[in-house]
Structure 1
Amino acid sequence: MDTRQLKTLLAIESHGTFAQAADIVGLTASAVSQQIQALETELRISIFDRSSRPPKLTPQGTQVIEMARDILRREEDTKASLRGDLIAGTLMLGSVRSSALNLLPRAVVQMRSRYPALKTSLRVSLSSTLIADVAAGRLDAAIVAEHVGFPSALRWSPFLREPLWLIAPEGTELRDPIELLNTRPYIRFRSAVPLANLIDTEISRLGVVTNDVAEIDTIGSIVTCVRQGLGISVVPHVALQEPEDSRLLRIPFGQPQINRQIGIVERTVSPRGEIISRLHAVLAELCAEHGVVRKAIES
């Protein structure tokens, strides 16, 4: 197995046919076919099902694709390190669908301006999938909420600790949170994420019975609905960054006020540890007064 074979394999996967891949890698279609056959012989598997046209990846072939991406990325990172260009290569990142996700593009732009040789690849998915991918080495790090049961080989470091707010439309005169929750139309955050469970658990603890008028799975949409007067809801601080949000009524949610945390999960032993640490610092800085400095939590 050599990297030329792996690059050819990825070209086939990206462009769909052996012939198109041949044009990309600068070989004949026959040479491409010979490379793949040699790889299959070495691995003792069939990477492609050739009974279909064009050939399709077998389940084992899909595994080989993942292996090829990982090997080629490690090759790129190693070459960058040997050149002395440590902040280079490709940083494979994941993130949950969160209101905190709007911080990540800003952080990536800052990292790019400081380290122009650094590339980033971002994938958005569920926290359970991201945690598994970090543990398996398919991702260098992922942005996830505080989670129960991280594997021992992983480390989670919060960069954001923010309060939750009960928000109501502009002009709302009632200020008692319990009375608001019991009497006003309520927009529920319905999603399989820790934040939704955190909110629902506190509402139950407070003994509140809400009058639900909507169930919405994105925080941004909930804030928009509250602005338009549909009802009240509970959202994290980071979701209230638009100028028009300053006109909403904000009341601390919970007794005492509940906070939620977002952080970076990474392997405890990682070749990208230095870059991930720098990314954490940038994210904490973007969170301003709600940012969590990494060295303070690791001391």
Structure 2
Amino acid sequence: METAYLQSFLLVVESGSMSEAARRLDLTPAAVAQQIRTLERELGAPLLARAGRTVQPTEAGHQLVQRARNLLREVGDIKALLGSDAAGGELLVGTINTAIHSLLPDILARFVKTHPGVKVFLQSGTTATLYKAVQQGDLDAAVCLYPPYVLAKTFDWSLLREEPLVLLAPSRLARRDPHELLRTSPLIRYDRNLGGGKQADRYLRTAGIVPQERFELSSLLAIAMMVDRGLGVSLVPDIASPLLDGQRVAKIALPLPSEPRRFGVLWQRASPRLRLIQGLVDSARMVTEGKPRGANHK
């Protein structure tokens, strides 16, 4: 059985159209139809049926869909194990939201240059949910924070950045004392369910500051926009994001040392996609090492 025919079948099911699947595969609709007929002969059952202008999987087709996806993933695992990952395969990567808005696009841009045939699927979540997904094999790797506990020996970790806390304030307040601003200005809190929010809360407690809380949210970009609009100040990790450069905000260093947020890549040492994961880690290191040190760096 040709795995390429299974891929064609899945594309037809996904798009609901022979012609759309053919377009994505750069084939003619007749060629795709021939592949489906070959599969049906080999399996001894009809797989697709017309439903108006679209095609839908039959009962046998529905049964094949998940099994075909699993089989194609297993084939990708075998290729990765045998060292043919540069030609193809897939990588399931989890990511925290701040990585999407900062380093991850540059990391992926470099990765696809060296692995042009690899499909990368992204899934966002918190560090806790991503850790569990990597542990259960639902993700191959995660771009996330170092968990607040000792990693199991089955995991590996590559540190990319350490991000200390900074105070975000409107640009006109750039020369003001940060602790004075935290005491007298409304505080836009970074979500305390997240690592950076817990980090900020610990700093406020250590400094003996009881802030005037106004908002609490999980998006650092949204926080920067609110600071830009004069809605308050915020205590956040110093992320490397070009999106913050468009806001009229100042990053003010804090007088007390702050625990840095450790940001990197997490994966299972025994992963069948270890070659691809190492390629992702190498790309990440090249991006972080190539970034000039400045306001956005530690």
Map of 2:267 onto structure 1: 266
- The one-letter code sitting in structure 2 at the alignment partner of 1:145 is L
CA change 1:282–1:246 in 2 (3 A) is: farther
Match of 2:201 in 1: 200
Counterpart contact for 2:182–2:211, Cα < 8 Å: yes
Deviation for aligned residue 1:198: 2.0
What TM-score, normalized by structure 2, do the two folds share? Answer: 0.72
Q: Is the 8 A contact 1:188 1:215 kept in 2?
A: yes
CA contact (8 A) 2:134 2:140 kept: yes
1:1-299 matched pairs, under 5 angstroms: 3=3, 6-7=6-7, 10-16=10-16, 23=29, 25-27=32-34, 31-33=38-40, 54-55=56-57, 64=67, 66-77=69-80, 81=84, 87-90=86-89, 92=91, 93-98=93-98, 101-113=101-113, 115=114, 117-126=116-125, 127-149=127-149, 150-172=151-173, 174-177=176-179, 179-190=180-191, 192-238=193-239, 241=242, 242-243=244-245, 248=250, 250-252=252-254, 255-269=256-270, 270-289=274-293
2-structure distance, mates of 1:213, 1:273: 41
Deviations 1:94-142 (A, max 9, x none): 31111564211112222334x2645341413213443344344444322
Aligned residue for 1:152, secondary structure, equals coil
Residue 6 (structure 1) shift = 4.1
Instruction: Describe the superposition over 1:49-83 as per-residue Cα deviations: whole angstroms up to 9, x where unpaired.
Output: xxxx94589998775355234123235546763xx
Paired-residue identity, %: 22
CA contact (8 A) 1:91 1:140 kept: no
Q: Distance in 2 between matches of 1:61 and 1:183?
A: 63
Judge conservation of contact 1:99–1:219 (CA < 8 Å) in 2.
no
- Amino acid corresponding to residue 285 of structure 2 in structure 1: A
Change beyond 3 A, Cα 1:89–1:151: farther
TM-aligned CA distance change 1:286 to 1:94, over 3 Å: farther
Q: What code does the residue aligned with 1:252 have? A: L
Return the TM-score normalized by structure 1.
0.72
Query: Matches of 1:189 and 1:236 in 2, distance apart?
Result: 9
Q: How many residues align?
A: 275
Report the secondary structure of 1:111's partner residue.
helix
How many Å separate the matches in 2 of 1:288 and 1:89?
Answer: 33
Give 4+ residue runs of structure 1 displaced > 6 Å after superposition: 17-22, 56-62
Note the alpha carbon deviations across 1:197-228, whole angstroms, 9 max, x for none: 22223323433222122222210111121122
Residues 208 and 34 of structure 1, relative CA distance in 2, 3 Å threshold: farther
CA RMSD of aligned residues (A): 4.0
Partner SS for 1:231: coil
Distance in 1, Cα, partners of 2:183 & 2:211:
5
1:26-59 Cα shifts (integer Å, max 9, x gaps): 4375544455667x9xxxxxxxxxxxx9458999
